[in-house]
Structure 1
Amino acid sequence: MISGDIAISSLLLLVLGLLALGHVAVALLNRPQRGLLLLAALLPFDGLLLLLPVGELLGPWKEVLLVLTLGAAVIVPNSDRAARQATLPVWVPAAIAFVALGLLSAALTGGLIAFWGLKVSYFYAVVPAIMWLAPFTARDRDRLVSILMGTGIVTALFGLAQQVLGPDRLNAMGFEYNTAIRFSGSLLRSFSTFTQPFSFGLFMSLVLLVCLPVALSDWRRTRNRIFLASTPLLVVGMAASVVRGATLALIVGLVVLIIWRFHGLVYAFTIPAIGLLFVPASFLEAYFSSSSLGQRTSGWQTIFDSLLGAPLGNGIGTTGSAAEKSNELGVDASELVTDAGTLNDLYLPDNQYIKTVIELGPIGLWLLLLLGAAVIAAAVSAARRATGDDRALAMGIAASVWGAAAASLVGTYLEIFPLDFYFWLLVGVLLSLGTTKAVDDGEPTAARQQDEVEAAC
């Protein structure tokens, strides 16, 4: 009887999914940008599929939607292409070289390991290509900020609610221990609507860094006032995830914004610092525990010693989540690493730079650093050219990349879903920021109206 109910539910979900897919396809044919905005709105809630009996079958929805969006951007003429930059941004050569090195490594590695390595590391790198074919307009960028603000508030509320429910109730709902439900000492690590706490915490820091400059630049707008009033909620939600990389990312990004323009954000440090005086010592001890740092650094010396033996790396997909996935499917990625003389067992680095060195060698690490520096330079340049909300958004993107660079010291940022998608999405936004031709598809945004008033004055 139970299996029959599951079959009926699966069939119903399949029919509903096909109907939704048809509507989405029509919407994408009109404007491919809608596919990326839909992904931005839904990806934070992908973890809720864990509660469905057939959630695993629905897992590839995001890949399907992205492929459909790419197809729509390629085959459909788009009048909005005038909104993009006339020349390729400075980060494009670095991105192409970084992806090309990964493709070469995959060709040399071969097999299922290479496939999963490419998927984990580069699948969402197609997003900027879509945005080159179908650039975001001013309205698209404004909607993206609204989406980030809204999803940030909703997921923060879910994360705090999990602290009230406790691990036993969460497990009874269908979440599993040691996957979604995790602890740091005695602290439950909130994961909200994500599949793990790391995604939740880093997403909170990204939302704060990208949206705070926009909200502060036009604080009279109702949407921005609501977000500013909700920032303590987002910060507490991030803290409930007990992801130290997210805290590091937020601090570094806020320092960038304070030095750059938003000096009033210094209170973002002062108030929490005072609040720490009233936090129980047991919480602080669990939150800032150094045991995980020792585990991270235990294999680093071995890796550095082995660079001479594998100057081009051990091959993409031989470490991290891609290697775990390959092992689950019966392919032992550790054998490739052993043959290259690096490690005897499968190594799961908690550092994006170390992971890149292992898989792609020093050249790959150099290209990764070059990509990050070029994206920051492009964001700074866009901020100088743009006005209003676009200028603030460019500042937020630069701060978020600085934060991602800091978080990469204690985590494999670019393989943590959905942070990999948002990284490439924000990079793609730079393609249309600060352009001379600003094309919109509807009514002017509040930022544009404000710019017109300032120009008239």
Structure 2
Amino acid sequence: MLSMAIVLILCAALFPFAVRRPQNGVLILAALLPFHGLNLISPLPINFWKEAVVLTVLVACFFARRQPGRRVAVVPWMWPLALFAIMGTVSALIVYRAAAVFPIKIALFYVLLAITIIWFPFERRDKDRLITVLLATGAISAAYGIVQQIIGGEGLAAMGYPWNDVIRSAGPLLRSFGTFVQPFPFGLYLMIVLLMCGAAALAEPNRKRSIVFWAVSPLLLVGMISSVVRASYLGLIIGAVIIGLFLFRKFLKILIFSVVALLVVSTPIALVMGASSGIQSMFSAESFEQRTEHWTRTIPFIMTQPFGQGLGTTGASVQRVEKLPTGLHVMYQPDNYYVKILLELGPMGFAAFVAVLVVALMVLRRLIQHETDQLERAFAGGALGVVAAACVAATVSTYWEIFPMDAYFWLILAAAGSVTPDVAAGIRGKAQGAPMPQPVAPYTLPSK
């Protein structure tokens, strides 16, 4: 009862801000989401606050005043997403009936954030503030993740974190989880922070925030590494290469040289210090071999289910539904979002979701070409890196089922598509033979 009262007070306090500018409500939510994991050690855990805040901001949109003509949302990926949502909703209702609310929520709830932003598109200052929010929250969470290495597993257990659920290890390595509920969202969130804030820092190298980012980037990297989430390592590399390739070619050369130099220097040092067992645990192929074995056994079953077995019949969704009397299926965690979609919705559902990703990547690429503002161009480039990283990370994780990765994915994607009418017209005019803008200025080091 007290938890409900606190949530109501929070929503009541947020509502006036969201009515004045729904974008502010989205930014407040973005600043709070990374700290949801602190509920685990809170004397009064409140797990449903985030859903309440999302709905509060959405309701506020009905009372907020729009300013037509200032911004529009270029989001053609919403069409295949709508098809995917319809297919998923229908299949979940067929399988679970009243209990379908849980798999539908897990798969689609945070699309409401994208709808909010499409209704009230982000302006330049909103994108700028979102970068600042990501940097601040990422630094705090990374610092706490590093402190967890000092506290150790026993100390974290004494604080109230449960073993084998939150507190995990990879061989001799404790896996940090920061302010999240598990290492996976912690590592993947820091991946997003590094990509988005890194792109913004490269676009505005002399800005104070950019200098702060370069100062705390080692903290963010160490925090991400301490999570031992290999999907975040792979995603960061892919995302950084994409940003360098499409925005900052000189930075791409520096990045490649730095990675090679780091490997050359760190490997012998680690071997001398006896850290080889930890490195082997971090980069062990055993986990990947187990995943591929599961996928191999799953493929014949997928071939016999052209429409899938229903949304929510694998992964986190079925864990929730199986607690209800209407549960029908044995839990299976595919550890690959594409396999998960194939199992649940079949080839048609898989094609619809892949279409969302392909269209999103194409739109972001066009935004980079047509944006004239350096920050907004960098935001689109960072979003392109995040989407590419998510596509890769999803091969070894159920990325869009890991909170709050799903929330930030749709938020960032919709925010990147919020542009001026001139930019939107330029994107549409490209197909009609409109001239392409000049290439992005090369990356330059900050002046001393």
TM-score normalised to structure 2 length: 0.88
Map of 2:185 onto structure 1: 199
Q: CA deviation at 1:213?
A: 1.1
* CA 116–287 in structure 1, closer or farther in 2 if over 3 Å, else same: same
Q: SS at the partner of 1:404?
A: helix
Indicate if the aligned counterparts of 1:113 and 1:316 stay in contact, CA closer than 8 A. no
Q: Any residues of structure 2 matched to 1:409-448 within 5 Å, and which?
A: 409-433=395-419, 435-436=421-422
Letter aligned with residue 335 of structure 2 = D
Map of 1:52 onto structure 2: 42
Q: CA deviation at 1:18?
A: 4.0
1:73-103 CA-to-partner distances (Å, cap 9, x unmatched) read: 1332222663114xx5331212211212112
* CA 307–17 in structure 1, closer or farther in 2 if over 3 Å, else same: closer
CA distance in 1, matches of 2:127, 2:350: 31
Q: CA deviation at 1:152?
A: 1.0
Letter aligned with residue 48 of structure 2 = P
Q: Any residues of structure 2 matched to 1:74-223 within 5 Å, and which?
A: 74-79=62-67, 82-85=70-73, 89-111=75-97, 113-223=99-209
Indicate if the aligned counterparts of 1:159 and 1:191 stay in contact, CA closer than 8 A. yes
Question: 2:296 aligned with 1:297, yes or no?
Answer: no
* CA 182–89 in structure 1, closer or farther in 2 if over 3 Å, else same: same
CA distance in 1, matches of 2:15, 2:341: 36
Q: CA deviation at 1:237?
A: 0.7
* CA 107–329 in structure 1, closer or farther in 2 if over 3 Å, else same: closer
* CA 356–15 in structure 1, closer or farther in 2 if over 3 Å, else same: closer
Indicate if the aligned counterparts of 1:307 and 1:361 stay in contact, CA closer than 8 A. yes
Q: Any residues of structure 2 matched to 1:346-361 within 5 Å, and which?
A: 346-361=331-346
Letter aligned with residue 151 of structure 2 = L
CA distance in 1, matches of 2:219, 2:267: 16
Question: 2:352 aligned with 1:371, yes or no?
Answer: no
Letter aligned with residue 54 of structure 1 = L
* CA 268–408 in structure 1, closer or farther in 2 if over 3 Å, else same: farther
1:249-269 CA-to-partner distances (Å, cap 9, x unmatched) read: 011111212222323233442
Indicate if the aligned counterparts of 1:258 and 1:266 stay in contact, CA closer than 8 A. no
Map of 1:64 onto structure 2: 52
CA distance in 2, matches of 1:256, 1:312: 34
Indicate if the aligned counterparts of 1:156 and 1:204 stay in contact, CA closer than 8 A. yes
**Residue of 323, 331, 340 corresponding to 1:328:** 323
* CA 329–248 in structure 1, closer or farther in 2 if over 3 Å, else same: same
CA distance in 1, matches of 2:7, 2:51: 14
Map of 1:390 onto structure 2: 376
CA distance in 2, matches of 1:435, 1:414: 31
Q: SS at the partner of 1:411?
A: coil
Question: 2:244 aligned with 1:258, yes or no?
Answer: yes
Letter aligned with residue 365 of structure 1 = F
User: Which stretches in structure 2 are left out of the alignment for 5+ residues?
Assistant: 425-440, 442-448
Q: CA deviation at 1:19?
A: 3.6
Map of 2:311 onto structure 1: 316
Indicate if the aligned counterparts of 2:308 and 2:344 stay in contact, CA closer than 8 A. yes
Letter aligned with residue 59 of structure 1 = N
Map of 1:277 onto structure 2: 268
1:139-159 CA-to-partner distances (Å, cap 9, x unmatched) read: 111100100111111111011
Deviates more, 1:15-24 or 1:309-318: 15-24
Q: SS at the partner of 1:82?
A: coil
* CA 167–80 in structure 1, closer or farther in 2 if over 3 Å, else same: farther
**Residue of 22, 26, 30 corresponding to 1:36:** 26
* CA 259–367 in structure 1, closer or farther in 2 if over 3 Å, else same: same
CA distance in 2, matches of 1:437, 1:367: 27
Question: 2:34 aligned with 1:73, yes or no?
Answer: no
Q: SS at the partner of 1:75?
A: coil
Q: CA deviation at 1:21?
A: 2.8
* CA 80–267 in structure 1, closer or farther in 2 if over 3 Å, else same: farther
Aligned residue-pair number: 415
Q: CA deviation at 1:303?
A: 2.0
Q: SS at the partner of 2:303?
A: coil
Q: CA deviation at 1:20?
A: 3.3
* CA 141–117 in structure 1, closer or farther in 2 if over 3 Å, else same: same
Map of 2:234 onto structure 1: 248
User: Which stretches in structure 1 are left out of the alignment for 5+ residues?
Assistant: 1-9, 335-344, 439-450, 452-457
1:296-323 CA-to-partner distances (Å, cap 9, x unmatched) read: 1222223211223210000001000000
1:48-94 CA-to-partner distances (Å, cap 9, x unmatched) read: 01112320xx1110100100111111332222663114xx5331212
TM-score normalised to structure 1 length: 0.87
Letter aligned with residue 138 of structure 1 = R
Deviates more, 1:58-67 or 1:289-298: 289-298
Q: SS at the partner of 1:183?
A: strand
1:1-32 CA-to-partner distances (Å, cap 9, x unmatched) read: xxxxxxxxx74x66555443322111111111
